[in-house]
Homo-oligomer: A and B are copies of this chain.
């Protein structure tokens, strides 16, 4: 008995020291609950290599799979264990950062009861977080924290009360006379106004940048870009930006400038968006060049020099994407803009795809460049 306890202690110690056991497939058995799990839930788990492991209770089900991982056709098929739980591990490591996923159980799509839900793909999806080597920049730390304020504003054009979230920095309100620049920051297709502060940690990225003295504080405004109304892949050229443009430019901006201490002018107003929010950013900044001075497209296309009639109207163009997307396209567009005399900055997020770690990093990169 003593020997067994000793052996167990040695294994435990080795695990703690990083000598995790590897199984036959080379998968380290150092799995930990994902940081996004519901309180008290052990699964889904992730290991230090980025593998994800799932465990789902559905003892009478015929088939359970996970829409994530490198197993056949883009998913991970779970196997029923003796205890009636369905288990499985991704065939390979996942990219660092946040991933949406769901379960397919007997032909129906459901969420994993182990983890929290995040609005993406026009539905509340399960989410899992693979710890990134550079996660410190969006970590929740004991630094002064700003607020994320939910505002409800009336939109005359849509005859509806609409929601936005406003990040205000820690110092906001302390000096009543101080006014701040504003970044209008859009989510992607199938997401909503919750995405940037929840999946994106925009508030924590700002808190940390401010605590480190790397940026001058500004506000971030996030609202719903009406992207759910767009059928994905159905030809975005036909998308009519006018309705959202009216809500954003003619209704929300005046509301924000009235209710917050803002520098209410073009020089102190930026617009950025990820994916389809980038497309919206491009359309709106070009349609209304008098409103924004700083533009950023995160995995959301590029500007050509010919898109912009008056070069002097634009102070910054920031273009980014993950290295697994179209980095050459971003680099080429950035060079062309620079050659045409624009202040253009390109950024490639290493080893990430069309996912939130690319966009967290992009926000971290672009924030220090704004309002200079």
A residues with CB within 8 A of B: 38-40, 56-63, 84, 103, 105-111, 113, 116-117, 122-124, 140-142, 145, 147-154, 161, 173, 176, 197, 203, 228
Contacts and interface: CB of A to CB of B under 8 A. Distances in A.
Contacts of A58: 105-108, 110
12 contacts: A38-B123, A58-B110, A60-B63, A61-B61, A61-B105, A84-B107, A103-B110, A117-B124, A141-B161, A145-B153, A147-B151, A149-B150
B39 A122 contact: yes
B151 A107 contact: no
A321 B106 CA distance: 42
Contacts of A176: 176
Contacts of A60: 62-63, 106-107
B161 A142 contact: yes
Contacts of A56: 108
Given A58-B108, A63-B60, A105-B108, A147 B150 contact: yes
Contact of A173 (B110, B153, B173): B173
A149 B152 contact: no
Given A117-B117, A147-B150, 9 more contacts: A40-B228, A61-B106, A62-B106, A110-B111, A113-B124, A140-B152, A147-B151, A149-B150, A176-B176
A58 B58 CA distance: 13
A116 B124 contact: yes
Contact of A113 (B39, B123, B141): B123
Contact of A61 (B107, B116, B123): B107
A106 B59 contact: yes
Nearest to A151: B147
Nearest to A64: B108
A161 B140 contact: yes
Contact of A109 (B62, B113, B142, B153): B113
A176 B173 CA distance: 10
Nearest to A41: B123
Listed residue (A56, A109, A140, A147) with the most chain B CB atoms within 10 angstroms of its CB: A147
Contacts of A63: 60
A110 B105 CA distance: 10
Nearest to A177: B176
A190 to B, nearest CB: 9
A104 to B, nearest CB: 9
A109 B140 CA distance: 31
A109 B197 CA distance: 29
B38 A124 contact: yes
Contacts of A61: 61-62, 105-108
B116 A113 contact: no
B228 A109 contact: no
A116 to B, nearest CB: 6
A152 B203 CA distance: 10
Contacts of A152: 140, 145
